[in-house]
Amino acid sequence: MYSISGLTFLCVLIINVFDTKCEDYAEFNQKGVFATVFTPFNDDGSVNYKVIPKIATYLKYNGIDGVVVADTPGEGPNLNLCETKKLLDSWTTAGRPLGLKVVAQIGGSALPVIISLAKYAANLQVDALLVLPTPYYKPEDALQLVSLLELVAKAAPSLPIIYNDSHLSGLNVDMVSFFKLASERIPQFKGLKTKLEVALNVKSSNNLREDQNIYISDYLSISSALQAGFDTFFDVTASVYPELILEIIKSCKNSDDTAAIEAQQKLSHLTNKIIAKGGVIPGLKAAAEIVTGYKFGDPRQPLQPVSQEDKNDIKTILEENGCRISAF
């Protein structure tokens, strides 16, 4: 028989074990480059899950540290609940053996859908949640936005939470105030994905904890972000030509400012020309298909597919800039 003091010690020990496990799991300290991945579609418009292992291998082989699944470039808000769950299944199954970290974007939908995806992602043990706000009835201030994230945190208490400060959300909330309040009220709140200008304001106005970071999503400012002390990037261009971002990072680490500027200019110029031909998602998705040789398919309506003429022009742009072209 246990004594009362023995039982008390045992209970405290069990609680501490579980608490430690939860805290350890809620860490998200991975640095480097995360590719915001496209969702591949078949000709009939269904999601092409079968090609995901090939895409994962391509990204890992080319130096990518992790993937952001179902974000806006991946048309996450244009997927139904079952598709998103199966997409997360596919990426965790394909990415985990390769050592790719998986960040699940679960927002941009009705609140019950967001909560359902948070619970599902927690069961899959993804590495972190990236959260867009609800799309129509939007939070109007920092307090309302933090309250929304608190519901997500309650649904997935073991997962780190990163807020997705996307301009596509149409939200007009001060990120400096939001970051401070979220840090105070949500222990799992690990940071913010945003543009460099916002990141600089948030960083200068908040004392980031050691377990927090600001994730830059701004292909035009990779070199500037590195010079400002930022070290982790969530970017869609890493799904197309990861070697360009890695070249910028390498040059900055070697203090080769000239090479870093040249690589940044190449990334910016190339991406802008592709977007001018086909738009952000359709154009870059077509470019990824040309570079990798894997079928990504057309984007979903209301996004319009890239014409064959524009695809040919995009291929020429890639070739002129020295990018690898698949022989598919």
157-179, pLDDT tens digit by residue?
Answer: 999 999 988 877 778 899 999 99
Q: Work out the angle at residue 117's Cα, subtended by the Cα atoms of residues 113 and 120, and round it to the nearest 5 degrees.
A: 140
CA 175, 271, 87, 69 dihedral sign is negative
Give CA–CA dist 237/227, Å, rounded.
Answer: 20
Residue 191 forms beta bridges with which residues? 162, 213
Q: If we measure between CA atoms, which residue out of 163, 241, 168 comes closest to residue 199?
A: 163
Q: Which helix (H) or strand (E) holds 265?
A: helix 257-278
pLDDT exceeding 90 applies to what percent of the chain? 85
Location of structure tokens 């738009």: 279
**Structure token digits, residue 30:** 């991975």
Give CA–CA dist 55/40, Å, rounded.
Answer: 10
pLDDT category of residue 30 using cuts at 50, 70 and 90: confident
One-character DSSP codes across 237-248: GGGT-HHHHHHH
What are residue 267's phi and psi, to 5 degrees?
Answer: -60, -45
Give CA–CA dist 101/291, Å, rounded.
Answer: 23
The model's pTM is 0.90
**pLDDT tens per residue, range 229-275:** 999 999 999 999 999 999 999 999 999 999 999 999 999 999 999 99
* Active-site annotation, residues: 163, 193
pLDDT at 26: 62
Domain ranges of the chain: 29-242
State the chain's mean pLDDT as an integer.
Answer: 91
Fold of 29-242: TIM Barrel (3.20.20)
**pLDDT tens per residue, range 64-92:** 999 999 999 999 999 999 999 999 999 99
What are residue 181's phi and psi, to 5 degrees?
Answer: -70, -40
pLDDT category of residue 326 using cuts at 50, 70 and 90: confident
Residues 186 and 150 sit within 8 Å (Cβ to Cβ): yes
Q: Which of 137-141, 150-154, 224-228, 263-267 has the lowest mean pLDDT?
A: 137-141
What are residue 108's phi and psi, to 5 degrees?
Answer: 80, 20
Give CA–CA dist 186/207, Å, rounded.
Answer: 15
Q: If we measure between CA atoms, which residue out of 193, 220, 87 comes closest to residue 132?
A: 193
pLDDT at 4: 47
Cα-based torsion angle of the residue sequence 71, 72, 73, 76 in order, rounded to the nearest 10 degrees: 60
E-assigned strand segments in the chain: 32-36, 66-69, 101-105, 128-131, 161-164, 189-194, 213-216, 232-235
What are residue 256's phi and psi, to 5 degrees?
Answer: -95, 85
